[in-house]
Amino acid sequence: MSVMVGSGDYIYRVDPQWGRLPDGWDLRDVAAVAVDRKDNVYVFNRGAHPMIVFDRDGNFLRAWGENIFSRAHGLHIGPDETLYCTDDGDHTMRACTLDGKVVMTIGIPGKPSPFMAGEPFHRCTHTALSPQGDLYISDGYGNARVHKYAPDGRLLFSWGEPGTDPGQFNIPHNICCDADGWVYVADRENHRVQVFDGNGRFETQWHNMHRPCGLCMATGADPLCYIGELGPGMKVNRETPNLGPRISIMNNKGELLARIGDIHRGMAPNQFLAPHGLAVDSHGDIYVGEVSYTNWPSISDEPVPNHLRTLRKLIRVT
């Protein structure tokens, strides 16, 4: 029996078994997901094969990145189908072709900047592209900054500092940009998305979310914004309802349109454990990557199970 999730105009059928791996392979934490023009799906994960590629039906196509990445975190695909891969364990962003050739590296592999120094990078998290092709990189766990780079990798400027005021960050965890050049930053531990112009000037902020983790914005006029919320991280509020984990769908004004996910975390088809990365294909289907293994200690006091769900597909019902 199919499980339906969502509400109103945003109803999805859960496909929990999507993504067939070769025999003997295991898919660990899926940190991020991206979709190319053919609706092939790139799964950036923390297993033995960091980049695994499937077709739209979930058939395995190829894998790469085994000798490149340290700890997968962010993935974004540009209009020219360059993959921007953010490695928070290696403190780098690598731009790659669809078959895994590295064409640009920003950051010094294995060498973080000093903690909260503001210089790139200390556990950078994600990337976004402006309409002009400039690159924004959120940074991250050991910084509270957004860096803007020219297309050739030259640092233009940075903004942000630790704190809770507008323009300050407490783990800038994800970033995206719309066709008008507005920059959206998932300020995870401040429970908000902040919106800036292309020069880093604060414009507004969205609330009504709990630890926004994944961030994906569709293209076109009045784009939808998909937000993966990590949910409670403290033992005391593990069982508190309506905090997530979940996916929220908002318009580009920050107005809530629908939510996907039960009021509690879990392994049921209509529940999430730790949604971390999101992508939407040309059919409106959502691919959800979860860092379930990393977050298990905040989920349960029990030992980590042998097999946790880390990837699934939500099929748009029209």
Kindly report, residue by residue over 64-78, the tens digit of the pLDDT.
Answer: 999 999 999 999 999
One-letter amino acid of 187: D
pLDDT attached to residue 307 = 87
In 3D space, the residue among 249, 244, 237 whose CA is nearest the CA of residue 264 turns out to be: 244
Can you tell me the distance from the alpha carbon of 52 to that of 83, in angstroms, rounded to the nearest whole number? 13
pLDDT confidence bin for 298, thresholds 50/70/90: confident
Question: SS3 for 49?
Answer: coil
Over range 3-28, report the average pLDDT: 94
pLDDT attached to residue 219 = 75
Handedness of CA 110, 141, 198, 252 (dihedral sign): positive
Average pLDDT of the residues of the chain: 95
Decide if 24 contacts 47 (C-beta within 8 A). no
* pLDDT, tens digit (0-9, with 9 covering 90-100), for 29-41: 999 999 999 999 9
* pLDDT, tens digit (0-9, with 9 covering 90-100), for 206-244: 999 999 999 999 876 678 999 999 999 888 988 899 998
Residue-range domain boundaries for the chain:
4-316
pLDDT confidence bin for 86, thresholds 50/70/90: very high
Can you tell me the distance from the alpha carbon of 22 to that of 35, in angstroms, rounded to the nearest whole number? 21
CATH architecture of the domain formed by 4-316: 6 Propeller (2.120)
Can you tell me the distance from the alpha carbon of 131 to that of 79, in angstroms, rounded to the nearest whole number? 10
Can you tell me the distance from the alpha carbon of 186 to that of 290, in angstroms, rounded to the nearest whole number? 17
Q: pTM of the entire structure?
A: 0.97
Alpha-helical (H) ranges within the chain are 292-299
